[in-house]
Amino acid sequence: MNVSSLVIKVLPENVNAAIAVLQGSGLCDIHAHDPEKGAIIVTIEGKDVGEEMEKMRAIEKLPHVLGAALVYAAGEAESDINVTRSKGTRVPEVLKEE
């Protein structure tokens, strides 16, 4: 499972309409927006990077959307690397309570 956050740009006067379209699309979860800047923060999920990129491209084609920029991405492969680095424990020693 991968999770990524996007900043979606729209014209300030279209923020509410774009939010309605995004909510109805089923492609993402909306977390914040700035009507003055025409920015909407969303997260997308996918089984892999390819599925996430398909969702991002679909979002870019929605009405009122001027563009979408990937801001952060995390996936299971990244989590697996961190587990390996911590010598197989789920929580690194430095983070465990003493």
Q: What is the CATH number of the domain that holds 21?
A: 3.30.70.920
Is the pLDDT higher at 82 or at 32?
Answer: 32
CA–CA separation, 64 and 18 (whole Å): 6
Entry pTM: 0.75
Q: Give the Cα separation of 81 and 83 in Å (integer).
A: 5
| Residue 32 · residue 70 · CB < 8 Å | no
Q: Is the pLDDT of residue 77 over 80?
A: no
Place of tokens 């089923």: 26
**Share above pLDDT 90 across residues of the chain, in percent, rounded to a whole number:** 67
Asked if residue 83 has pLDDT above 50, the reply is no
Q: Quick one: DSSP state of residue 91?
A: S
Please tell me the total count of domains within the chain: 1
- Residue 88, domain extent: 2-95
